[in-house]
Amino acid sequence: MRDAPASARLIEAFANTVDVKLGTDELDSADGLATWLAERGILDRAHQVGAADHGLCLRLRAGIREELGVNVGDGADPALRAGTEEALRELPVLVSVGRSDGGSLSPAPHLPPTRRALAELAIAWCELALTGEAARLKRCSEHTCAWVFWDASKNRSRRWCSMRVCGNRAKARRHSAKQTGATGPTTRGA
């Protein structure tokens, strides 16, 4: 099994600021966003986050969560994807080339502090997408959960955040539906 890279851990934590099961959102306010970014060391605790940056963050997160929930062959919601693409255009990054270090991405230096922090999230997502590792970050297939997790399985086939909880529920529902269908009412011909 492979451990998740730092960029995956950051995006996983970012996506999981929404808890579908509990109906909570750590980023439901600008102050919540400031606290979350500060806890991860990408924004100074004393910095205030404005409403526009808070909205930008929510658009970024919505699109990333949408991408993580897309199954092969399915398409992401075009409106969410467009909102995220628009948000990314407001978070420019610089690319440096260096043969010794393989180059790097960094937030544009002219960005204000909150936007620099959000650009760090965009860079983490970009690193995962470019390396193909984004395919290992998945949203739980249990619709009442939707928790994001790192799929460390060899063949990348994990579907649930927890087989004991979400996977078991899905399998129990499928079994129950089969049983109901097999023992349902029958019609006798006359």
Q: What is the pLDDT of residues 116-127, one digit of tens each?
A: 999 999 999 999
Q: How confident is the model at residue 91 (pLDDT cuts 50, 70, 90)?
A: very high
Contact residues for 135 (Cβ-Cβ < 8 A; gap 6+) = 156
Q: What percent of the chain has pLDDT over 90?
A: 57
Whole-prediction pTM: 0.83
Measure Cα distances from 15 to 26, 66, 92, 127, 170 in Å: 10, 10, 21, 16, 22
Kindly state the average pLDDT of the residues 55-69.
93
Q: What percent of the chain has pLDDT over 70?
A: 79
Q: Per the structure block, which two tokens stand in for 46? A: 């004393």
Confidence (pLDDT) at 72: 46
Kindly state the average pLDDT of the residues 88-111.
87
Work out the end-to-end distance of the chain between its first and last CA atoms, rounded to an integer number of angstroms: 61
Q: How confident is the model at residue 165 (pLDDT cuts 50, 70, 90)?
A: low
Confidence (pLDDT) at 167: 60
Q: How far apart are CA 177 and CA 161, in angstroms?
A: 23
Q: How far apart are CA 123 and CA 105, in angstroms?
A: 7
Q: How confident is the model at residue 88 (pLDDT cuts 50, 70, 90)?
A: very high
Torsion sign across C-alpha atoms 15, 117, 133, 77: positive
For residue range 30-59, list pLDDT tens digits in order.
Answer: 999 999 999 999 999 999 999 999 999 999
Residue type at 88? L
Kindly state the average pLDDT of the residues 139-163.
84
Q: How confident is the model at residue 178 (pLDDT cuts 50, 70, 90)?
A: low
Q: CB of 117 within 8 A of CB of 43? A: yes
Confidence (pLDDT) at 159: 82
Q: How far apart are CA 169 and CA 175, in angstroms?
A: 10
Lowest mean pLDDT segment, chosen from 37-41, 141-145, 168-172 = 168-172
Confidence (pLDDT) at 164: 65
